Structure 1
Amino acid sequence: MCDRIGVDILDDYLAGVRAHGAVFCRTVSAPPWGLCFVEPAPLALAVMLRGNGWIVPADGEPVALRQGEIVLIRSELPYTVADRPTSSPRILVDGDDHCTVTGDPEAPRRNWRVTGRTSSPDDGPAGDDGDLLVTAGYRIGGDLSLPLLDALPPVAPVPAHTSLAPLLDLVADETADDNPGQQIVLDRLLDLLLVRSLRCWFARPDAEPPPGYRALSDPYLGHVLRRLHEEPARPWTVASLAAEAGMSRTTFARRFTAMVGRPPLAYLTQWRMALAADRLRRPGVTVAAVAREVGYTDAFTFSSAFKRTRGVSPSAHRAGAP
């Protein structure tokens, strides 16, 4: 079922993910139409509220986008959303959330903030008989979201589903008129739409969700995983985790490894290092302070574990953090 999810882990993976600068494009004349995302966000969502379209990646086959369907896009290369795979982009969207109409001699002087309708100037007055596309790029606020991104393919189609329909109705209603606060409302609605889309995608039998996601439905391991995420700094051992699960140490370790994909303490270390990587980005924070926050009694032991896991020292990671 689409609504069966790993709430806690998904919450943590999405802690730094926020929609920003939602684009909605209404075509009110006959196709062709197309938007090229020149500098894509790390994660994006596209949905056809009315009509049909295509996602055309730079290095893959086009993917159909039917009315009511959603596509999650994870790409560092430019891609196009258009009415047909062969349609040339009429609008370019850059990494600064501005769009430019191609072939327009005034385009260099007329970059619009990506908000509101981005139809071509000659499309005529807005109406209800054209295609309606909504896309959103999501900012990734650190390393906690990397397991989520790694679990997604470059293009992930999410078929229309009853759990998505109410949100799509709200998005469509919000795009119908230019009202105060429209951008923030759209962005927050698209945050919710992303979560529900991820639920549906990871519910697929062929999907590979982030580590621990499916194990949350296990009555024993789910409790343990929640405890690990709630208190990562606690001095956990396999024995204490097994006690939380009410299982023998051997049975717990075998079951955890089989369902999560890695042994209990390896999972804990990976999660601690992901938390540490994010916390090292804070201004003025010390390595020793972060070490204590994630469960290490001294900076040396923490630094060794961080370098072994992440490939760089905590100081080098902090120096290279944007």
Structure 2
Amino acid sequence: MDLLSAILRDLRLESVVLSFADLHAPWGFDKSKVNGAPFHIVTEGRALLKMEGKDAVELLAGDLLVLPGGAAHTLVSEPDAERVPFYDLLRSNGIDPDWVSDRSGRRFDRWRAGGDGSRTRMVNGVFGFPSPRPNHVIAALPDVILIRGRLREGPAWLDGILGQIIEEAAREEPGFQAIIERFADIIFINAVRTSIAEDPTGGTNWLRGLRDPQIARVLTLVHQEPGRRWTVAGLAKEAGLSRSMLASRFRAITGTTVMDYVNARRMELAETLLSSSHKPLAEIAVEVGYNSEISFGRAFRRWAGKPPGQHRREGRRANGYG
């Protein structure tokens, strides 16, 4: 498996398609910041995206918008359109938005809003992640990923998936929601891949390292063997670089140090093991590269703000296991 596929799989994406919107101008809604990555796909008509400190962006049919960090944003039919909170719109359509936090109660809803003007249709959803902590994959992505659809000579994959989503939603045959959610997984993965390929900002983050063969080698090794007793010198040897060259090049490309990345990978794996397995803490400690449960506990507390045992208990209660 390639590195990006493995990393995205470890992210444990939980795609939740919230709704299909049928909007008639004038309309507008505000979405507050969320712990997840909201996305919108315009299937008909147009919309304006407004975010604090940024210029408004026009979205047309076929366009995909993803906000990886869950940033607050506004969508309107025109600049001066009246806006209401998104959840209020759902409630006015008889939809209870509280189900969103209940993984066992996923639903699929349609809703309407606006006046009697031009029509816009949208898919509105959120990519959810089980951990409330910022993930290093998400943190490395830009605030906004905008992929133009076929109308603007965009990628064929987006046009194809959009057509499948619309067809499944229209038919509502048994299993249609599960199929749409899997399509949403593909949308997220492609959005991340497109963001890496384009990298318009030229900023520093570890995803850029995937395009550098030697840095990618280091990232792959750390991801595959997080519990190995890695050192900068050892990783430099694996990459065919000097210790100083690796250290400076890694920081220049990713914006972090080699060992900070190693530690982040270990802690995120530890968090996954704590929430998804019954392994003893001592066994987890060894698996993520620590000599003892005590040293692991100290490192995890620094990273998560709480000891691993407490983190596991709170996670189990949150998921309904006592």
Give the TM-score taking structure 1 as reference length: 0.77
| 2:193 matched residue in structure 1 | 199
2:145/2:191 contact within 8 Å kept:
no
Residue pairs, 1:237-256, within 5 angstroms:
237-256=231-250
Q: Among residues 18, 22, 26, which one is paired with 1:22 in the alignment?
A: 18
Measure the CA separation in 2 of the matches of 1:283 and 1:248.
39
1:144/1:274 contact within 8 Å kept:
no
1:22/1:186 contact within 8 Å kept:
no
Percent identity, please: 26
2:204/2:255 contact within 8 Å kept:
no
Mapped pair 1:178 → 2:167: no
Residue pairs, 1:1-12, within 5 angstroms:
8-9=3-4, 11-12=6-7
| 1:101 matched residue in structure 2 | 92
| 1:302 matched residue in structure 2 | 296
**Residues 223-281 of structure 1: CA distance to partner in whole angstroms, max 9, x if unpaired?**
22111101111122223212221233333333223222223222111211122123223
Specify whether residues 265 and 58 from structure 1 end up closer, same or farther in structure 2 by C-alpha distance, changes over 3 A only.
closer
| 2:111 matched residue in structure 1 | 118
* Counterpart amino acid of residue 31 in structure 1: A
| 2:60 matched residue in structure 1 | 66
Higher RCO (CA < 8 A, seq sep 6+): 1
Residue pairs, 1:252-291, within 5 angstroms:
252-282=246-276, 284-291=278-285
Q: Among residues 136, 139, 152, which one is paired with 1:147 in the alignment?
A: 136
1:92/1:101 contact within 8 Å kept:
no
Measure the CA separation in 2 of the matches of 1:274 and 1:40.
21
Q: CA deviation at 1:289?
A: 2.4
More helix by share: 2
Measure the CA separation in 2 of the matches of 1:240 and 1:287.
27
| 2:184 matched residue in structure 1 | 190
Unaligned runs of 5+ in 2: 100-105
RMSD between aligned alpha carbons? 3.7
State the number of aligned residues: 302
Mapped pair 1:169 → 2:160: no
Partner SS for 1:117? strand
Q: CA deviation at 1:316?
A: 4.2
**Residues 52-75 of structure 1: CA distance to partner in whole angstroms, max 9, x if unpaired?**
013355897654322222211356
Measure the CA separation in 1 of the matches of 2:74 and 2:213.
43
Q: CA deviation at 1:308?
A: 3.3
Give the TM-score taking structure 2 as reference length: 0.77
Q: CA deviation at 1:191?
A: 1.3
216-225 or 184-193, which deviates more: 216-225
